Amino acid sequence: MRKHRVAVVGCGSLAQGVHLPNAQRNPRIELVATCDINAQAAENCRVRFGAQRAETDWRKLVVAPDIDLFILATRQTLRGEFIAPALENGKPVYTEKPLSPDLDDMLRILRAVRKSGLPVCVGHNRRSSPAMIEFKRLLDKAVSGVPSIPPTVNRMGDRQRLPEEKQMQLLMRINDDARSWKSWAFCEKESILFAEIVHFIDLALWMNRSHPVRAFVEGSNRGNFTIILRFADGSMTTLQHSLVGHFDYPKELFEATVNNITVAMDQYFEIRQCGMADEAAVKQMPYAAGCEWATKTGMTGYMQCVAEERQRAKAKGDAPRWLNVNKGHYDHLDRFLDHIEGRGPNPCDVESAVPVNRLALKLLDSARLGLPVAVQPEDWHLPQLEA
Ligand SMILES: NC(=O)c1ccc[n+]([C@@H]2O[C@H](COP(=O)([O-])OP(=O)(O)OC[C@H]3O[C@@H](n4cnc5c(N)ncnc54)[C@H](O)[C@@H]3O)[C@@H](O)[C@H]2O)c1
């Protein structure tokens, strides 16, 4: 088994909660260095996660001979400036999302990828969640035109199918809680409509087969917004984001309808479908690693586990444990290792992340103007670039 010698740059909340523990438990990774401009954060993470050294200047790591791969977990303020020299020095990069809010920065990264021939994986990790992969499999099957079993109420008779019945209608409902966010999310000019929503735009582009033509946002870019994306084949994706929900209620619900088939994915632990005779109506997925204490499954089971955990914690006088779900972080990185070893596709390359970020910028325009905006080929098509 090949060992990838890894440095994690940026030792904030996400690195400490996700990437460093995942690197530590992945037998294919040797954690060589932690790096943060905050020396104490880098050192604390070195000790806690067993890295060999701590650094405050990523420039030293970019040229270090004992590092093969970077995980970039800073906020979007550091992207091309780091990624381009890392690639030039022969080191692939797993970068957190968003790729960048700046077009020139994105092009710099794209040029460096094309010139070096080395991969960058963007942390749109939901693509690698087992539940999302299963949702996409069912959705692709529904889109392909498999027959839908007749509904209980069926007035079809000999009427021909409507062209609209081939248009996928995808609903993404995000039950967010403002209290769970750090204040930077509300101070950055792009805010949640950019920083968080790139995950969902990525999924919308991944699941739709035609290109987007129009985008509309109603609401504030900090939260409480609804996005409508219209695609060239008439398909629509509607994303409803609420900042005033409760964190302990399941956050993400995806519901897609196409060709008279309904497929739903609830918070990465339950997948439902109606219409395909050879597929199960309901499937359940395990919670995230470390949440084995929660033994009841499905939506009702999840709600019961959360309520029981609250009671247990109150009786013991400690804080309730968070019932986390598998959004694919570990698998996304692991699949990237496979890709580096020549055993599979890059789970999210820069070529597919640039259109996501460009479309997110269009959404910011729409929110600012209060109007629908056209999405043009330059927003989703990448031309050849001069060196
Ligand atoms: N994929 C996901 O599920 C997910 C979830 C949360 C956050 N994120 C993304 O992860 C990124 C980090 O978010 P966070 O909440 O951990 O932020 P954070 O502010 O907690 O952490 C960022 C860290 O980077 C360090 N840093 C800044 N500039 C640096 C530099 N030049 N060199 C080295 N270190 C530097 C900071 O000191 C800080 O410790 C963001 O882009 C965010 O959008 C992704």
Q: Is 300 in the pocket of ligand 1 (CB under 6 A)?
A: no
Indicate whether 341 belongs to any domain.
no
Q: Would you say the CB of residue 350 lies under 6 angstroms from ligand 1?
A: no
Q: Is the CB of 62 under 6 A from ligand 1?
A: no
Distance 14 CA to ligand 1 centre (A): 6
User: Which two tokens mark 110?
Assistant: 């794209």
Q: What is the dihedral of CA 244, 246, 252, 253, to 10 degrees?
A: -90
Domain for residue 64, yes or no?
yes
Whether 75 lines ligand 1, by a CB cut-off of 6 Å, is yes
9 pocket-lining for ligand 1 (C-beta < 6 Å): yes
Specify if 382 maps to a domain.
no
- The protein residue whose alpha carbon is closest to atom 1 in ligand 1 is 123
Please write the tens of the pLDDT for every residue from 79-131: 999 999 999 999 999 999 999 999 999 999 999 999 999 999 999 999 999 99
- In Å, how far from its chain's centre is CA 112? 23
User: What is the domain count for the chain?
Assistant: 2
Instruction: Tell whether 224 and 95 lie within a shared domain.
Output: no
Instruction: For residue 250, give the nearest of 164, 181, 322 by alpha carbon.
Output: 322
Tell me the CA–centroid distance for residue 258 and ligand 1, in Å.
38
Half-sphere exposure of 65 (CA within 13 A, CB side): 0
Residues 363-367, mean pLDDT to the nearest whole number:
95
The arithmetic mean of pLDDT across residues 341-369, rounded, is 96
Report the CATH number that the domain containing residue 270 is assigned in CATH. Answer: 3.30.360
Do 234 and 98 lie in a common domain? no
pLDDT value of position 383:
80
24 ligand 1 Cβ < 6 A: no
pLDDT at 384: 74
**In ligand 1, which atom is closest to the CA atom of 12?**
21
Same domain? 81 vs 177: no
Residues 145 and 275 in one domain: yes
**3-class SS at 24?**
helix
Q: Write the pLDDT tens digit of every residue in 260-288.
A: 999 999 999 999 999 999 999 999 999 99
Q: What is the mean pLDDT of residues 9-18?
A: 97
Q: Is 304 exposed, middle or buried (0-12, 13-18, 19+ CB in 10 A)?
A: middle
Residues 107 and 91 in one domain: yes
- Same domain for 71 and 139: no
Best of 96, 121, 190 to mutate for ligand 1, by most ligand atoms within 8 A of CB?
Answer: 96
Is residue 338 a part of any domain in this protein? no
Please tell me whether residues 133 and 228 are part of one structural domain. yes
Q: Are residues 48 and 138 in the same domain?
A: no
Nearest to 194 by CA among 171, 168, 227: 227
Task: Decide if 155 is inside a domain.
Answer: no
28 lies in which domain range?
A: 4-126
Q: What is the pLDDT of residue 387?
A: 59
Q: What is the CA radius of gyration of the chain?
A: 22
Q: Tell whether 118 and 24 lie within a shared domain.
A: yes
CA of 24 to the centre of ligand 1 (A): 18
CATH number at residue 117: 3.40.50.720
Residue 48 lies in a domain: yes
Whether residue 286 sits in one domain with residue 268: yes
* DSSP H/E element including 231: strand 223-231
Higher pLDDT, 190 or 387: 190
Q: Which atom of ligand 1 is nearest to the CA of 74?
A: 24
Average pLDDT of the residues of the chain = 96
Identify whether residues 61 and 191 lie together within a single domain: no
- The model's pLDDT over 319-337, given as tens digits with 9 standing for 90+, comes to 999 999 999 999 999 999 9
Can you tell me which atom of ligand 1 is nearest the CA of 125? 1
d(CA 97, CA 350): 11
Same domain, 94 and 49: yes
Q: Is residue 349 part of a domain?
A: no
Distance 255 CA to ligand 1 centre (A): 30
Ligand 1 site, residue 72, Cβ cutoff 6 A: no
Residue 113: inside a domain = yes
